[in-house]
Chains A and B, each alone.
Chain A
C-alpha cells in the first residue's frame, strides 16, 4: 500500500461511509444501537451524533499514534482510547439533557462495543493520515446517523404518529404500537434492507 495515494482526499474518502459502504445498510455493523434506540427520531439523531463524535475523536487520535502502538496490544489500546471518549460523551449528554440521557440509557456507554468504531480504527485509522481519517470518519458517522434516522422516523411515525416529538395526525390517529416495541425494530430494518436489495437488483438488471 503506497502512502502517496493515501494522502489524496477525494470525494470518495468522505462518501464511502455515507452510501457505498454504509455501516448499517451495507456492512451490517453496530446493529444493537441501531435497533434499540430508534423508537423515536430524536433518540436516533442523538445516538447518531454521539457515535459520530466518538468515531471522529478516536479515529483522529488512533491515526496520530498508530505507529507507536505495538501490534500485539493494538486492539486493547484502541478499546481503551474509545472507552475514554465514550466516558466523555456520557458525561456531556448527562450535563446537556437528563431526559435524553435517561431515554438512551446504557446505550451511550455501549458505544464502546459498537463494532463500527473498532472496525474503522483497525481497518482505516491505523493506516491512514489523521486528516484522511477525520474526513472518512465524518462520512461514516453521518452514514450511521442517516441509517438511524431512516429507522427512527419510520418507527416514530407509525408507532406514535409523531415526528421529533411533534404530533402529526391529531388525536384520532390509532398508533401501530408494535413499531415502537422491539419487534418493530427488526421488522423495519428488515424492510429497509429488502428495499435496498431490490433497488440494487433492479440496477444490476438494467446495467446488463
Chain B
C-alpha cells in the first residue's frame, strides 16, 4: 500500500501511531476523563469533532499564511482556530445535550489545551498533506483517541471493583495501565507494510 494513500493514513493513525498511546498527545483527558465509560466516549467524540473542524480550518489558514508569507504566525493562528472550534462544540452541546455538558464539566473547555488537537494541525502541516489527506488524518486521530480513552475507561471501571494496595490507588495505576495498553498497541507497528 502506498504510504500516502488515504486508507494507510487512517489505519496508521488509529492503530500503529495512535495519538495517545504512541505519540503521547492528549494525555490530560486520557488520564482525567477515563474514570467512567459513559463520559469517556462522549469526550472522545467531542474531541474528534473539534479535531475535524480545526483540521479543516487549519488547512485553509495555512494556505493563507503561506500565500502571505507570514508562516511565523502559524502557531498563534492555529491556537485561535482551535479555541473557536471548542467554543462551537461547547455551544452545540449546551443547547442539545445539557446533561452531557454538565458531566464533561471543566474538561470541555480544556479541549483547547489538548495537545492532540494542536499536534494534529501541526503534523498535517509538517507532512504536507493535501485536503483529503488532512481530513482522513483528523478522522483517524479522532477515532484513535476515542478508542484509547474507551479502552482505558473500560479497564479502570473493572479495576475500581477490585481490591488494591493503598499506594496504587491513583495516577500511578492509570499510568501503568497506559503503559500496558501502549505495549499492546506496539503490536500494530508495521501494519500496512512499507514506510
Of B1-9, B47-55, B155-163, B179-187, the one contacting chain A is B179-187
Task: List chain B residues, Cβ under 8 A from A32.
Answer: 24-28, 115
Task: List chain A residues, Cβ under 8 A from B23.
Answer: 36, 182
Task: List chain A residues, Cβ under 8 A from B44.
Answer: none
Is the C-beta of A186 less than 8 angstroms from some C-beta in chain B? yes
Is the C-beta of A31 less than 8 angstroms from some C-beta in chain B? yes
Task: List chain A residues, Cβ under 8 A from B182.
Answer: 182-183, 186
Given contacts A32-B25, A186-B176, A186-B182, contact A109 B75 (CB under 8 A): yes
Q: Are A118 and B172 in contact (CB under 8 A)?
A: no
Is the C-beta of A84 less than 8 angstroms from some C-beta in chain B? yes
Of A8-16, A55-63, A75-83, the one contacting chain B is A75-83
Partner of A115, one of B113, B178, B183: B113
How far does the alpha carbon of A187 sit from the alpha carbon of B180 in the complex, in Å? 8
- Chain B, 135-179, contact with A by CB distance < 8 Å: what is the 0/1 string? 000000000000000000000000000000011101111111011
Task: List chain B residues, Cβ under 8 A from A187.
Answer: 175-176, 179
- Chain B, 96-132, contact with A by CB distance < 8 Å: what is the 0/1 string? 0000000000000010111101110011001000000
Q: Are A201 and B22 in contact (CB under 8 A)?
A: no
How far does the alpha carbon of A197 sit from the alpha carbon of B24 in the complex, in Å? 23
Is the C-beta of B31 less than 8 angstroms from some C-beta in chain A? yes
Q: Are A110 and B119 in contact (CB under 8 A)?
A: yes
Question: Which DSSP category, helix, strand, loop or mixed, fits chain A's interface?
Answer: helix
Shortest distance from the beta carbon of A88 to any chain B beta carbon, whole Å: 10
Partner of B114, one of A113, A185, A189: A113
How far does the alpha carbon of A115 sit from the alpha carbon of B117 in the complex, in Å? 14
Q: Are A84 and B76 in contact (CB under 8 A)?
A: yes
Given contacts A76-B83, A182-B23, contact A87 B123 (CB under 8 A): no
Shortest distance from the beta carbon of B29 to any chain A beta carbon, whole Å: 11
Shortest distance from the beta carbon of A122 to any chain B beta carbon, whole Å: 11
Is the C-beta of B45 less than 8 angstroms from some C-beta in chain A? no
Is the C-beta of A135 less than 8 angstroms from some C-beta in chain B? no
Task: List chain B residues, Cβ under 8 A from A84.
Answer: 76
Task: List chain A residues, Cβ under 8 A from B83.
Answer: 76, 79
Shortest distance from the beta carbon of B76 to any chain A beta carbon, whole Å: 4
Is the C-beta of A65 less than 8 angstroms from some C-beta in chain B? no
Task: List chain B residues, Cβ under 8 A from A185.
Answer: 24, 179
Partner of A28, one of B166, B171, B176: B171
Q: Are B166 and A110 in contact (CB under 8 A)?
A: no
Q: Are A186 and B167 in contact (CB under 8 A)?
A: no
Q: Are B176 and A190 in contact (CB under 8 A)?
A: yes
**Can you list 7 contacts pairing A with B, beta carbon distance less than 8 Å?**
A87-B72, A183-B179, A183-B183, A185-B179, A187-B175, A193-B175, A194-B167
Additional 6 contacts, C-beta under 8 A, given A87-B72, A106-B119, A110-B25: A31-B28, A32-B26, A80-B76, A113-B118, A193-B171, A193-B172
Q: Which 10 A-B pairs have the closest CB atoms?
A: A186-B179, A190-B175, A193-B172, A36-B24, A187-B179, A183-B182, A31-B27, A190-B176, A183-B183, A186-B178
